[in-house]
Amino acid sequence: MKKTIAVLPGDGIGPEVVEEAVKVLKIIAKRFNHEFDFQYGLIGHQAIVKTGKPLPEETVNLIQNSSAILFGAIGDPIYDNNPNLKVRPEQGLLEMRKVLGLYANLRPVKVYSALIDQSPLKKKIIANTDFVVVRELIGGIYFGEKGSTENSAYDTCSYSVEEIIRVGRVAFELAVKRKNKVTLVDKANVLETSKLWRKTIQALHKDYPDVSLEMMYVDNAAMQIIRNPSQFDVILTENMFGDILTDEASVITGSIGMLPSASIGQKTALYEPIHGSYPQAVGKHIANPIGAILSAALLLDISFNLKKEAKLIEKAITNVLSKGFGTCDINSVDPVSTQELGKLIRDEIKNFS
């Protein structure tokens, strides 16, 4: 089986962690006789430096003609103190989501038993945490009409029934394969868009009678994720709420570097770790590659339907963690480097009988 994978390392630690994920995919390809063609492209700050655009036309052509996309991170410190710069790295990511119609972002949140003591939360609270956040990705306040004057500004949040239904189906279909529970997170006591979300999802629920549906206001959800995260199976929510809640949920795992994500929609799917570009770590070989490697596993599972191969990667990571290995974010006593951790995971894959 030959598949083309567009590789967009991006900025900051993106190239370092993506390199380890690509190496894992090459080991999988060799072991299972697959053929993956890795084609590299520019995005973000690196693309701006070389082409003047955060998403060059060459990259657009690449992603549109690939079987899947593996992406690293985006952003650079030079933009932090220059909010008025019109061309910015994050525009490349937003444009890519729009070009590909990536309307649903899946972010699994799972606690590994080997890392349970790394979490700032008590062991008894986070034990058995295993849920997925399904976040609507190309609507809402991030993509609504915006404007400002010297003394005021506005950002418009807008959703249609069609936008809600398509991401809602993703959540319900996912719940059917898991524990048959969807929690809709909204602010329906205040926001008109949330009222539409609630009405639309309740109607859609009739198509999935075996799945239980609960409603939860976003402020309560933020509290419940910390108080009792194991109560959740699939969390469904709009763009901004999902952005905030998934970063909060990443703390449960002990490190944001552990979490992968998949963005799916009308065309090619995109896979990326949820961490940012982390410029302070560039070149220090301390970045955690597990989020990127797990994103590669999601790529195999969702885009290529190679479930056995994806499970093997997950098992290899579990084994490596159980032996006490980890980068400094999850092992402060005796950490290994980004590259060493990647090699340990690849060695596990090689050694499985």
Per-residue pLDDT of the chain (353 residues; tens, 9 = 90+): 689 999 999 999 999 999 999 999 999 999 999 999 999 999 999 999 999 999 999 999 999 999 999 999 999 999 987 777 889 999 999 899 989 999 999 999 999 989 998 888 898 999 999 999 999 999 999 989 999 999 999 999 999 999 999 999 999 999 999 999 999 999 999 999 999 999 999 999 999 999 999 999 999 999 999 999 999 999 999 999 999 999 899 889 888 899 999 999 988 999 999 999 999 999 999 999 999 999 999 999 999 999 999 999 999 999 999 999 999 999 999 999 999 999 999 999 998 86
Domain ranges of the chain: 1-106+255-353, 120-253
Tokens of 272: 């990326």
**Rounded CA separation 41/10 (Å):** 9
Check 79, 112, 142, 217 and give the catalytic one: 142
The whole-number pLDDT of residue 118 equals 85
Which of 247, 267, 315, 343 is catalytic? The answer is 247
Q: Could you give the CA distance from residue 25 to residue 35 in angstroms, rounded to a whole number? A: 10
Catalytic status, residue 247: yes
CA gap 188, 134 in Å, rounded: 18
Q: What is the pLDDT of residue 84?
A: 78
- Catalytic residue (one of 154, 219, 307, 311): 219
219 part of the active site: yes
Determine which helix (DSSP H) or strand (DSSP E) holds 316, and give its type and residue range: helix 307-322
The candidate with the shortest Cα–Cα distance to 183, out of 228, 231, 248, 253, is 231
Cα separation values, 315 from 17, 96, 137, 217, 300, Å: 19, 31, 29, 35, 14
Check 243, 271, 278, 329 and give the catalytic one.
Answer: 243
Architecture of domain 120-253: 3-Layer(aba) Sandwich (3.40)
**187 is known as an active-site residue:** yes
Note the pLDDT of residue 353.
Answer: 66
Instruction: Answer whether CATH 1.10.10.10 is correct for domain 1-106+255-353.
Output: no
Whether 142 is a known active-site residue: answer yes
Set 187, 233, 278, 329: catalytic member:
187
Fold match, 1-106+255-353 / 120-253 = yes
- Angle, helix 307-322 to helix 290-298, in steps of 10 degrees: 160
d(CA 338, CA 287): 6
Identify the three-state secondary structure at position 78.
Answer: helix
Give the whole-angstrom CA distance, residue 169 versus residue 135. Answer: 12
Confidence at residue 351, expressed as pLDDT on a 0 to 100 scale: 87
